[in-house]
């Protein structure tokens, strides 16, 4: 683990322990938040800041149902078994009212199954696996962030406009990467029937041989590349591809790369002109987003990352659901969240009744490099409701054995 990540992890772990109450205080609504704080500090530090900003705003305005909102933060060790154990402890020992959180898909699926077995409400904030709401979906589990289907679908229209015939693909070889590639291939083939996929590279996550991958893609002589890598793998691939000239004269369509969490470490090695999903916090000019950024900067003297928005929006969604239900009872919450509208820094969103998935949207645009740093030089917001599969598809997936 890089030194700065290690420092983040130690500091965040200490903060998590220091703010966690040992018992459920009276007159308090308690949320049990489970996440990979030690394993993913670059994501979780801004996430927790966004979460606490929203919680402070709610409490300052009078709380929920006449009660103060508090959160017990717990680390899942990036492990499904540990996450389920922690979820049980939160319910039994801490007597929390609501379960929430999780970033890793395998952990999210485990906690969702636990919520189903225990019949306790769980709002998943960030796991990308669509099994969360489709094949493994259940009454008690809702998800805030869009999954792999919506992410991949969000860039297909721009990919089709390129009219490139020969595509190469690179992705991490686990569910997120596999599912994103499957959706992209199917959707692009439908939009552009003559498209060919001439090469695929699927290294294990965190173990990419970037030189070999870049060379294999170059050897296939593609017209364009679809990239699903992120984190350290993305950094290595972007730098190696730039060094080898892989991206010269080729279009690249990518997922996640425009998020500050992934652009910032690249600095001036950030890729130029890629089409990608991301978070252009510096150019979103809506009143709700400007208010969020101003409050975030005032509290933390820092700019928000995408996970800041996710943490903030998760708390706002929980608050809206509790207000609508008039209760923290899991059955009442599960009913209240169906069709629930709530506010986010990206504008209004709602939870679809058909699959418990929110319509939280995605920014898509082109990357650029300015003053030694990557940024999204163009970006447009796409409402998540417009990117979902058909209702018939969702019904088939949710009723599959």
- Residue 9 reports pLDDT greater than 90: no
Chain-centre distance for alpha carbon 150: 11
Among 16-30, 109-123, 220-234, 345-359, which stretch is predicted with the lowest mean pLDDT? 16-30
Q: Are residues 44 and 125 in the same domain?
A: yes
- Residue 88 reports pLDDT greater than 90: yes
Residue 356 lies in a domain: no
pLDDT digits (tens, 9 = 90+) for 370-379: 999 999 999 9
Q: Are residues 38 and 117 in the same domain?
A: yes
| Local structure of 8: helix, strand or coil | helix
Mean pLDDT across the chain: 93
Q: Are residues 37 and 74 in the same domain?
A: yes
Q: Are residues 225 and 372 in the same domain?
A: yes
| CA pair distance 184, 224, nearest whole angstrom | 13
Among 1-5, 21-25, 170-174, which stretch is predicted with the lowest mean pLDDT? 1-5
Q: Are residues 132 and 156 in the same domain?
A: no
| Local structure of 347: helix, strand or coil | strand
Please tell me the predicted confidence (pLDDT) of residue 10: 44
Range of the domain at 335: 3-146+286-350
Q: Are residues 374 and 257 in the same domain?
A: yes
pLDDT digits (tens, 9 = 90+) for 290-319: 999 999 999 999 999 999 999 999 999 999
- Residue 7 reports pLDDT greater than 50: no
| Local structure of 24: helix, strand or coil | coil
Please tell me the predicted confidence (pLDDT) of residue 324: 98
Q: Are residues 62 and 128 in the same domain?
A: yes
Structural domain count, the chain:
2
Q: Are residues 274 and 242 in the same domain?
A: yes
Q: Provide the CATH number for the domain around residue 201.
A: 3.40.50.2300
Residue 355 lies in a domain: no
| CA pair distance 71, 49, nearest whole angstrom | 13
Which tokens in the block code for residue 176? 């997120």
261: left (phi over 0), alpha (psi -120 to 50) or beta: alpha
Q: Are residues 299 and 332 in the same domain?
A: yes
Q: Measured between alpha carbons, how far apart are the two ends of the chain, in Å?
A: 40
CB of 377 closer than 8 Å to CB of 367 = yes
Please tell me the predicted confidence (pLDDT) of residue 25: 61
- Residue 4 reports pLDDT greater than 90: no
Q: Which DSSP symbol is given to 93?
A: T
| Local structure of 144: helix, strand or coil | coil
Residue 120 lies in a domain: yes
Average pLDDT of the segment spanning 252-277: 95
- Residue 11: band (very low, low, confident or very high) from pLDDT cuts 50, 70, 90: very low
* 31, containing H or E segment: strand 28-35
| CA pair distance 312, 6, nearest whole angstrom | 24
- Residue 17 reports pLDDT greater than 70: no
């Amino acid at each position: 683990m890089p030194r700065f990540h290690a420092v983040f992890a130690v500091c965040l772990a200490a903060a998590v322990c220091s703010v966690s109450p040992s018992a459920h205080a009276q007159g308090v609504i308690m949320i049990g938040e489970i996440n990979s704080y030690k394993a993913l500090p670059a994501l979780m530090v801004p996430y927790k800041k966004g979460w606490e900003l929203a919680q402070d705003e709610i409490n300052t305005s009078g709380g929920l149902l006449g009660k103060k909102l508090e959160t017990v933060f717990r680390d899942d060790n990036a492990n499904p078994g540990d996450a389920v154990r922690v979820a049980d402890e939160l319910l039994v020992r801490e007597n929390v009212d609501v379960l929430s959180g999780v970033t890793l898909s395998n952990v999210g699926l485990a906690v969702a199954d636990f919520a189903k077995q225990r019949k306790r409400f769980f709002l998943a904030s960030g796991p990308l696996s669509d099994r969360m709401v489709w094949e493994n979906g259940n009454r008690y589990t809702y998800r805030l962030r869009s999954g792999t289907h919506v992410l991949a679908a969000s860039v297909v229209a721009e990919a089709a406009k390129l009219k490139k015939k020969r595509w190469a693909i690179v992705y991490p070889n686990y569910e997120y990467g596999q599912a994103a590639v499957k959706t992209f291939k199917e959707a692009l083939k439908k939009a552009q029937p003559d498209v060919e996929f001439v090469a695929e590279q699927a290294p294990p996550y965190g173990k990419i041989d970037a030189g070999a991958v870049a060379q294999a893609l170059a050897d296939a002589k593609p017209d364009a590349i679809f990239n699903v890598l992120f984190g350290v793998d993305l950094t290595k691939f972007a730098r190696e591809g730039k060094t080898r000239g892989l991206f010269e004269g080729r279009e690249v369509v990518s997922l996640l790369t425009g998020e500050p969490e992934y652009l910032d470490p690249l600095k001036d090695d950030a890729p130029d002109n890629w089409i990608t999903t991301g978070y252009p916090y510096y150019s979103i000019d809506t009143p709700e987003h400007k208010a969020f950024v101003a409050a975030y900067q005032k509290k933390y003297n820092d700019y928000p990352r995408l996970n800041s928005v996710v943490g903030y929006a998760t708390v706002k969604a929980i608050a809206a659901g509790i207000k609508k239900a008039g209760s923290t009872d899991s059955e009442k919450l599960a009913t209240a969240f169906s069709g629930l509208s709530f506010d986010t820094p990206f504008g209004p969103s709602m939870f679809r009744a058909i699959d418990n998935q929110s319509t939280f949207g995605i920014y898509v645009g082109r990357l650029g490099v300015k003053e030694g740093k990557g940024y999204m030089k163009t970006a447009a917001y796409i409402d998540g409701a417009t990117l979902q599969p058909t209702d018939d598809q969702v019904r088939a997936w949710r009723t599959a054995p």
